[in-house]
Structure 1
Amino acid sequence: MTLLLNPPAPKAGWRPFAVEGDRWPGRVLTGAGLALLPWTVCLAATLPPGQAVAWVTLDLLEAAALLGAGRRLRRGAPGHRRPAAAAALLLLVDAVADVTTAAPGAELATAVAMALATELPLAAVCGALALRPERPAAR
């Protein structure tokens, strides 16, 4: 019973499993990366071929970066900073490209709403994770 109430302190360095309170960023990034996959298929099916290549490539790069960072964070493994930084940059580029290429009216309103509701907040989370140290600071 004592062991359950007073678990041993985690070892410094790589941890096979993340501390429970530390798993949510990994879950969020993984979920966002997985959500981009059907969206990418939709873009490939509906956009003209020249535009589809650019948008599908951008979204697949975003998904890969999000999934890479999310996987490392969920497992408590080192190496989340670079994919998180890449995801932040790609999400910012996506938001700017969406807004600047949207036609005035409903398309522009949708692009701005998506940027404000999803892309920019997710980029902020990724940026914060990219700046976070690989290991918890020693106490």
Structure 2
Amino acid sequence: MTMTLPLARPQARPRPAATAPAPAPAPLAVPVPVPVPAAAARPNRAARLLVGLGLALLPWLVVLATTLPATTTVSHWSLAWVGLDCLEAVGLISTGVLLRRGDPRRCLTAMATSVLLVCDAWFDVTTSAPGAEVASALAMALLVELPLALFCARLAVRALPRG
């Protein structure tokens, strides 16, 4: 005789109760030295190189101050000034375009333009003939070039990435 038993569904096993994860082991009291990769050491070398080069320029300034002639004739005078003013125009235009686009790279062009404007003011004043020419150069420096340089420097600092 054969007997047929109804198949019962297997019952789900009860899941074990969730337990809190074990706490992490306490950190070691002794710090472990971490090796510095070669790439991280490069900024230190670059910093030392830049400071060394800057210090090397100091004696050179004395040499220049004592050996340069008081006056000289320059054959490409107009080219030098037109070139400087051209660089200033490119800097102002590119900074304005990048500012309009909201591009953070404007900090680079703004600072470069600021430096160019300060150099322009310096050389305008120091190379001007006494009298009306130096007065005009001072007026341009104080009323246009240096305020614009400060404005560009402020733009540059404000555009620096925050980190």
For the residue of structure 1 that corresponds to 2:94, the secondary structure is: helix
Cα deviations by residue, 1:81-104 (Å, 9 ceiling, x for unpaired): 000000000000000000000000
SS of the residue 2:80 aligns to? helix
Alignment of 1:58-137 (within 5 A): 58-134=84-160
Instruction: Using CA pairs under 8 Å that are at least 6 residues apart, name the structure with larger relative contact order, 1 or 2.
Output: 1
CA shift at 1:75, angstroms?
Answer: 2.1
CA distance in 2, matches of 1:127, 1:134: 11
Task: Tell me, yes or no, if the aligned pair for 2:88 and 2:116 is still in contact at 8 Å.
Answer: yes
5+ residue gaps, structure 1, are 1-47
Match of 1:39 in 2: none
Structure 2 residue identity aligned to 1:74: R
Task: Identify if the C-alpha distance between structure 1 residues 136 and 116 changes in structure 2 by more than 3 Å, giving closer, same or farther.
Answer: same
Matches of 1:50 and 1:77 in 2, distance apart?
Answer: 37
Q: Distance in 1 between matches of 2:104 and 2:158?
A: 11
How many residues were matched structurally?
Answer: 90
* 1:78 Cα offset (Å): 2.6
What CA distance in whole angstroms lies between the structure 2 residues aligned with 1:110 and 1:133? 33
Higher CA-based Rg: 2
Superposition TM-score, scaled by structure 1 size: 0.60
Alignment of 1:20-59 (within 5 A): 50-59=76-85
Give the aligned CA root-mean-square deviation in angstroms: 2.0
Q: Which runs of 5+ in 2 are unaligned?
A: 1-73
**TM-score scaled to structure 2, two decimals?**
0.51
Aligned equivalents of 1:79 and 1:117: distance in 2? Answer: 27
Letter in 2 for 1:88: S
After TM superposition, which residue ranges in structure 1, 4 or more long, deviate above 4 angstroms? 134-137
2:106, 2:159 within 8 Å by CA — same for their partners in 1?
no
TM-fit CA distance, 1:58: 0.5
